[in-house]
Amino acid sequence: KKAAADPRLDELMNLVMLRRGTIQEENAEDIKKFLAEEYAKERRVTLARAVKDAEMSGDEALVGSALQEFHNHIGYEEKIKKEI
């Protein structure tokens, strides 16, 4: 069994397998890849919104924090893309 970079993906896959029964290994890998990509997209949108909201608030510390989290996520996306 191959573990995903994000343990939440493994947890989600376990739930999928419990609900659908045992799935073939090649299908599991495809599902993990799809879920990782979808998670990354949704997270990027959420973080971009957080940056925008922080900028609108005028709180520079909040802007810096939101930008740092966004940049960390971009690094996560790059890591996921390499694994796929």
- pLDDT tens by residue, 7-16: 777 777 777 7
Distance CA 9, CA 36 (A): 7
Q: From CA 65, how far away is CA 54, in angstroms rounded? A: 9
**Reported confidence tier of residue 56, pLDDT bands at 50, 70, 90:** very high
Nearest CA to 17 out of 43, 6, 29 is that of: 29
Retrieve residue 68's tokens: 């740092």
Structural tokens at position 9: 């993906």
What integer pLDDT is reported at residue 1 of this predicted model?
54
- Kindly report the pTM of this predicted structure: 0.63
Mean pLDDT computed over every residue of the chain: 81
Tell me the torsion sign for CA atoms 55, 57, 58, 62: negative
3-state secondary structure of 59: coil
> What is the structure's pLDDT at 65?
95
